[in-house]
Amino acid sequence: MLSRGTHVVVTDDSYRRTRQFLNQTLHRYGIEVSTVPAGDYEALEDAIRPTTRVLVSESPTNPYNRVLDLERFAEIGRRHRVKTVIDGTFATPYNQRPLEWGVDVVVHSATKYLGGHNDLMAGAVLGSRDIVDAVRGLQGVTGAVVSPFVAFLLVRGLKTFALRMERHNATAQAMAEFLAAHPRVERVHYAGLASHPEHDVAKRQMRGFGGVVSFEVRGDLVAASRVVDSCRIPYIAVSLGGVESLIEQPAIMSFYELTTEERLAVGIKDNLIRYSVGIEDAADLIADLAQALDRAFA
């Protein structure tokens, strides 16, 4: 959808690698990029130029679970005759279907919830026949296809997808409520909480709120590290969406190569922890997190 001389608008909380691809890789090929604050629809609209072809965003976002008003996003795109693209990986098709709200294209990292077992890498693009056929044509040139075995693993994962998502949703909601009431937790980022800034939007357009809970502990980088290290059930890893729970500290893991100033500029705080809940017993996960918070601040 983009070629030399065209322009794309992306929200600033979209997946970091997506923004790097737009600003670094596509920039080399004469494609201009504007980045606007998430949730600022006036800024989004003001950034559109005659050469704009695509608006790109993500909902919910990684790691703060910000939620985009999909209907409003799609309406802006239609009015200005530009395509809208949503990364729906965090929500999954079980919890949210952006195409039904008027969005033109949805992408998913099938590596995450669709596969569900942390053992494959794949992706999916959904949209009109014209758009998908164009993507398929490019795929035929670039050769970016999954192997037969990866396809088999993905089909296997889809067989339990709905059941897993019900468990992810329920456990994450329970964990978010536990953390929100904990004295050693400063803030919880989960759309299922009434305190979330887009909770009402999420309730309107989502079936469930997903399996990732991000939270800030009362303390610094070291305090957050102690919490992560004190957990006994989740693996320390940067992925998400599998049957095993994973925990990570973005400041020293997924954003490790940035300087402190660069990291803080994109909103990644020292005391932030991201927890991808698996399908283990919810009470066990919460009890483990409770003891980790107690040990870390003992």
Distance CA 227, CA 293 (A): 6
152, 258: one domain: no
Angle 126-81-203 (CA atoms, 0-180°, nearest 5)? Answer: 55
66: in domain: yes
108, 165: one domain: no
Average pLDDT over residues 85-111: 98
169, 279: one domain: yes
288: its two tokens: 């483990």
**CATH number of 285's domain:** 3.90.1150.10
Per DSSP (E only), the strands in 173-294 are 185-189, 212-217, 235-236, 246-248, 272-276
Q: Is residue 218 predicted with pLDDT exceeding 90?
A: yes
pLDDT tens column, 125-179 = 999 999 999 999 999 998 888 999 999 999 999 999 999 999 999 999 999 999 9
Q: What is the pLDDT of residue 260?
A: 78
60: in domain: yes
Q: Which of 157, 190, 217 is the last residue in one of the domains?
A: 157
151, 168: one domain: no
Percent of the chain with pLDDT over 90: 89
219: in domain: yes
153, 81: one domain: yes
170, 291: one domain: yes
198, 264: one domain: yes
112, 145: one domain: yes
228, 212: one domain: yes
50: in domain: yes
2: in domain: no
148, 220: one domain: no
Backbone angles phi, psi at 28, to 5 degrees: -65, -20
1: in domain: no
75: in domain: yes
| Range(s) of the domain holding residue 272 | 161-296
How high does pLDDT run on average in the chain? 95
200, 265: one domain: yes
**CATH number of 114's domain:** 3.40.640.10
Per DSSP (E only), the strands in 176-241 are 185-189, 212-217, 235-236
Q: Which of 126, 157, 188 is the last residue in one of the domains?
A: 157
Distance CA 30, CA 152 (A): 39
pLDDT tens column, 231-289 = 999 999 999 999 999 999 999 998 877 777 777 777 889 999 999 999 999 999 999 99
146: in domain: yes
pTM: 0.94
Query: How many structural domains compose the chain?
Result: 2
12, 46: one domain: yes
